[in-house]
């Protein structure tokens, strides 16, 4: 979204909350007429209280620093903290609030239940909101809302021109993203153990003891030579080069409403199609219907037999799936997709 808004607004201020607070800073970027004119660090802290305090006061700083008292602007926030003291914020600046709601986590703890209540409290008091998936939309509204004030706007994408020799890559799978224990890595390892001619590239970070657990599992299954697993992220250029060595992107998430992926528009899938890769994924997430609609991949059950069937189907009709990926990418291309979906902002 940053790329779209930077190109289509007179002035854009982006306040980026860094995922690793131990670095000690967040980022502020200022765009004017599509050009990045300033980027600076602002303080944060790994201490929980100070972390959220720096988030909130960092937002207030951005409002006061980059917008004059009589200058109207729109603030799109994705966390309830952005809306604390809305009345005071409106006294300080001519701001209109828009709530962007992307994630939902099942209410299994007291803190999560409290967080969802707080999110719903602000949602019901802010006139404009959009959601990154229909399931989240339905949770917040009781039904899938579709109006200027309430609508689903999924992630847009910006595909890259990547070509690959299918005959050379047809036995290599790609997994990209943060590795967690509900993302189906075990299913992939089971598949590799049964099909020794296939290889897998896992590109992403695995935190804690999970990486060691997967290393032990790979040795137990005798698949170490089949798996490239450096446990780090790569630049976009390097990732594109790695993707050229693979024929399909895999997202074998655990299925069920107890997992957060059931509710969201998972970014992994669109990361694959941006690299011109068909997708094999389990039947979870709001993006599934679009993968089916455009024939951009295969939706599988959560077992190795179904996964193998998906692999075979894509290999037999690879060109047709590439055509489906092209149609999928055209539909979600960020410039045209966002221009239509965010047109309501121009009328505010």
| Mean local confidence (pLDDT), 184-211 | 94
Instruction: Work out the pLDDT band at 347, boundaries 50, 70, 90.
Output: confident
User: What domains lie within the chain, and their CATH numbers?
Assistant: 2-157+333-347 (3.40.50), 166-332 (3.40.50.2000)
Tokens 């080069």 identify what position?
Answer: 241
Q: Compute the distance between CA of residue 181 and CA of residue 28 in angstroms, rounded to an integer.
A: 33
pLDDT for res 286:
86
E strand residue ranges, the chain: 11-16, 25-32, 35-43, 73-77, 95-101, 128-131, 150-152, 172-176, 199-203, 227-228, 248-251, 279-282, 297-300
**pTM to 2 decimal places:** 0.91
pLDDT at 21: 75
Q: Report CA-CA distances (Å) from 72 to 62, 66, 157, 198, 317.
A: 14, 12, 29, 56, 53
Tell me the three state secondary structure of residue 288: helix
Q: Give the list of residues 6+ apart from residue 151 with CB closer than 8 angstroms, or none.
A: 130, 131, 137, 145, 341, 344
Closest to 138 in 3D by CA, of 312, 49, 257? 257
Looking at residue 150, its pLDDT comes to: 96
- Give me the mean pLDDT over the 157-184 stretch: 93
């Amino acid at each position: 979204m940053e790329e779209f808004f930077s190109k289509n607004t007179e002035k854009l201020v982006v306040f980026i909350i860094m995922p690793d607070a131990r670095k000690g800073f967040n980022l502020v970027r200022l765009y004017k007429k599509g050009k990045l004119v300033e980027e600076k660090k602002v303080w944060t802290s790994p201490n929980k209280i100070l972390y959220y305090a720096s988030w909130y006061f960092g937002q207030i700083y951005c409002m006061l620093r980059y917008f004059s008292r009589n200058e109207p602007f729109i603030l799109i926030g994705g966390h309830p903290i952005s809306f604390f003291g809305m009345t005071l914020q409106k006294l300080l600046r001519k701001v209109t609030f828009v709530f962007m709601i992307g994630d939902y986590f099942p209410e299994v703890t007291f803190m999560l239940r409290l967080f969802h209540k707080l999110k719903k409290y602000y949602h019901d008091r802010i006139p404009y909101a959009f959601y990154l998936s229909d399931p989240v939309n339905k949770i917040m509204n009781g039904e899938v809302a579709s109006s200027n004030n309430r609508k689903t706007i999924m992630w847009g994408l910006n595909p890259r021109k990547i070509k690959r020799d299918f005959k050379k890559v047809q036995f290599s799978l790609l997994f990209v993203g943060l590795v967690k224990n509900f993302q189906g890595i075990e299913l992939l390892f089971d598949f590799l153990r049964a099909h020794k001619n296939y290889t897998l590239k896992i590109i992403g970070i695995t935190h804690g003891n999970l990486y060691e657990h997967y290393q032990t599992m790979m040795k137990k299954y005798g698949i170490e030579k089949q798996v490239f697993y450096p446990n780090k992220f790569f630049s976009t250029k390097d990732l594109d080069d790695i993707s050229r060595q693979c024929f399909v992107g895999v997202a074998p998430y655990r299925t069920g409403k107890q997992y957060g992926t059931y509710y969201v528009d998972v970014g992994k899938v669109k990361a694959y199609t941006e690299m011109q890769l068909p997708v094999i994924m389990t039947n979870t997430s709001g993006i599934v219907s679009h993968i089916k609609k455009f024939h951009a991949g295969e939706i599988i059950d959560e077992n190795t037999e179904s996964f193998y069937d998906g692999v075979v189907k894509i290999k037999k009709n690879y060109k047709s799936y590439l055509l489906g990926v092209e149609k999928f990418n055209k539909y979600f291309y960020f410039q045209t997709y966002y221009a239509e979906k965010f047109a309501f902002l121009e009328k505010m």
